Amino acid sequence: MITTLTNSMFLIHLLSGVFIGGTAFLLYGFIAPSVRELGPDGGKIMQMLLGKYKLPSVMSIVGIFNIGSGFYLLYMKYGHDVSWISTSSGLPLFIGIIAGLAAWTLATFVFQSPAAKVIVQVGGAIKASGGKPTTDEMQAIDNAKRKMAIGTKLTVILITITIIGMSLSLHL
């Protein structure tokens, strides 16, 4: 029973981590630059990703599964003993855990999710009023896009640290 549960949690942790990391790198490296190059038409892509497909919400939920399964695996391996942190494999794992938690927290509560809400709400208001944005609406969207860009860059850096830390912990 425990082996099946542990293996299932490992699979959840692995697949959700691949999804989060892959999505973050794809957004940062390809989708965001493409949206910028498309100008106003890029806004349509962002409305789809953020509004219709609710990408920030999906990423947050997948992050909860990743974090929950990760803590389960950590507990199954070490229990309440925190001395693992001071080992050669434990320190990079600990750094990876902190970076991953920071990435999820910042994306969910500070950068991407809040900025996405503004973009979707203001974009919807613009569409409802006939498609011509006011100066305030344009400024709100521009501020949200800047906030999202900063958050995406920071998240990618933190996810990279997470991946390196967790990978190193397996080989040290």
Non-local (6+) Cβ contacts of 80 within 8 A are none
pLDDT exceeds cutoff 90 at 130: no
Looking at residue 1, its pLDDT comes to 60
35-44, 52-61, 105-114: range with lowest mean pLDDT: 35-44
Write out the two tokens for 99.
């970076």
Domain range summary for the chain, segments of one domain joined by +: 2-171
* Burial status of residue 130 (CB atoms within 10 A of its CB: 0-12, 13-18, 19 or more): exposed
Beta strands in the chain (DSSP E): none
> What's the pLDDT tens digit per position in 10-21?
999 999 999 999
Helices then strands (H, E): number in the chain?
7, 0
pLDDT exceeds cutoff 90 at 55: yes
> What's the pLDDT tens digit per position in 81-120?
999 999 999 999 999 999 999 999 999 999 999 999 999 9
Whether this model's pTM surpasses 0.85: yes
Non-local (6+) Cβ contacts of 154 within 8 A are 103, 106, 111
Alpha-carbon distance 28 to 44, whole Å?
Answer: 17
